[in-house]
Amino acid sequence: MLELIRHPWHWSIAGFLIGLTVPALLLIGNKSFGISSSLRHICAACIPANIPFFKYDWKKEVWNLFFVAGIMIGGFIGNYFLSNPEAIVVAPYTQETLQQLGVKDFSGLMPIDIFSFDNLLTAKGLVFFVIGGFMVGFGTRYAGGCTSGHAIMGLSNLQWPSLVATISFMVGGFAMTQLLLPYIMHWVN
């Protein structure tokens, strides 16, 4: 059993389990699935600064903070107790292109060439952590949700604004990867 869990999972198993989060949250507590709202609750709880957008009863939404704390614990369990002993298999074309862009280490879930503390105070850190993170937080709130709230919960409930948002997420991602990333990698290296 443990052996089966440690093995990398097929996309359909993972997708099915992620999809089940929608009815699970609805049925255990009448909660719509969405994660980026946790960032808003953190703002409302810690730094509301008299901004109307952060003046609401965040304590009523505290379940969302329990949920993301759980995700963090799950990430820990998944990586330290149930992880695949072998290296992640990255598609050959992607690997080739990334190597040309200066990514050398393909052994972990994340490229250590980029996601390490050594890069924190460098141009890499500025782009990949600070600016990247800022766009994730700003963009999801501006869009009214992220991949969970729009792409999964919104589409599950047949909401066409969520389809618009999901398409915009993809367009932004393609533009960054295909058009901007080569210049960015050149600059940070």
Partner 1 sequence: MEKSVKIPHADEFVILPEKGEKAYVNPHPVECEAPNEQVKKETIFSNLKYLIVGAIFGIVFVKAEIVSWFRIQEMFRLDSFHMYGVIGTAVVTGMLSVLLIKRLNIKTLQGEKVQFHPKTFNKGQIFGGLIFGLGWAITGACPGPLFAQIGAGFGVVIVTLLSAIAGTWVYGLLREKLPH
Site string for partner 1, 149-188 (x = CB under 8 A): xxxxxxxxxxxxxx-xxxxxxxxxxxxxxx-xx--x----
CB of 123 to partner 1, least distance (A): 13
Measured distance CA(71)–CA(189) in Å, rounded = 33
Q: How far is CA 13 from CA 6, 30, 73, 170, 175, in A?
A: 14, 25, 21, 23, 29
**Residues of span 97-136 touching partner 1 by CB under 8 A:** 97-98, 106, 109-111, 114-117, 119-120, 125, 127-136
**Contacts of partner 1 in 44-103 (CB under 8 A):** 47, 49, 51-57, 60-64, 66-80, 82-84, 88, 90-94, 97-98
Rounded Cα gap, residues 123 and 129, in angstroms = 10
Residue 45 dihedral angles phi and psi, to the nearest 5°: -80, -35
Size of the site for partner 1 (CB under 8 A): 140
**Minimal distance in Å, beta carbon 59 to partner 1?**
10
For the CB of residue 41, give the shortest distance to partner 1 in the complex, in Å.
Answer: 8
Identity of the residue, 70 or 189, whose beta carbon is nearer to partner 1 in the bound complex:
70
Name the minimum Å distance from CB 79 to partner 1: 4
User: Residues 89, 91, 94, 100: is their CA dihedral positive or negative?
Assistant: positive
Closest separation in Å from C-beta 44 to partner 1: 9
Footprint on residues 18-47 left by partner 1 (CB under 8 A): 18-40, 42-43, 47
Q: How far is the CB of 186 from partner 1 (least distance, A)?
A: 14
Closer Cβ to partner 1, 51 or 186, answer by number: 51
CB 94 within 8 A of CB 103: no
Q: Which helix (H) or strand (E) holds 11?
A: helix 11-29
Task: Report the residue from 1, 2, 3, 12 that binds partner 1 according to the rule CB under 8 A.
Answer: 12
Q: In whole angstroms, give the CA distance from residue 23 to residue 29.
A: 10
Residue from 3, 165, 136 nearest 82 by CA = 3
